[in-house]
Amino acid sequence: MKESIYNILKGTFLVSDDSFKNWRFILFISVLAIGMIASSHSADQKVYEIARLKNEVKEMRSAFVDGRSKLMELKMESAVVEVMREKGITSSVIPPKKIKVKTQK
């Protein structure tokens, strides 16, 4: 037991006659580790991208709601009357009359 641990620490398993299978296993484990690291980085990048896009959606939704509320204020009759008054146009005191056109056949 003590000698096998000593051989592992010295690295004799890498230079012995049957070391080719050990090297293949070490290479396989190294490729798997690199693959796991790359996959982890890719997942982290996707998480950051999702968070950024969520913040962007929140900002756009806020801008949309703000624009919609401003539009509702501008469409109100009192706002339209105020803008027309600034331009010198006032509302009529005589109510409108409905004109009926009769078609002749």
Q: What is the pLDDT of residues 30-87, one digit of tens each?
A: 999 999 999 999 999 999 999 999 999 999 999 999 999 999 999 998 898 889 989 9
Residue at 102 is within a domain:
no
Residue at 52 is within a domain:
yes
Residue at 79 is within a domain:
yes
Q: Give the domain extent around 41.
A: 2-86
What distance in Å separates the CA atoms of residue 6 and residue 14, rounded to the nearest whole number?
Answer: 13
What distance in Å separates the CA atoms of residue 11 and residue 6, rounded to the nearest whole number?
Answer: 9
pLDDT in tens, 78-100: 898 889 989 998 888 898 899 99
Residue at 29 is within a domain:
yes
What distance in Å separates the CA atoms of residue 87 and residue 38, rounded to the nearest whole number?
Answer: 66
Considering the entire predicted model, what is its pTM?
A: 0.57
Output the pLDDT for position 3: 81
- In this prediction, residue 28 has a pLDDT band, given cuts at 50, 70 and 90, of very high
Looking at the structure of the chain, the number of domains it has is: 1
Residue at 91 is within a domain:
no
Residue at 34 is within a domain:
yes
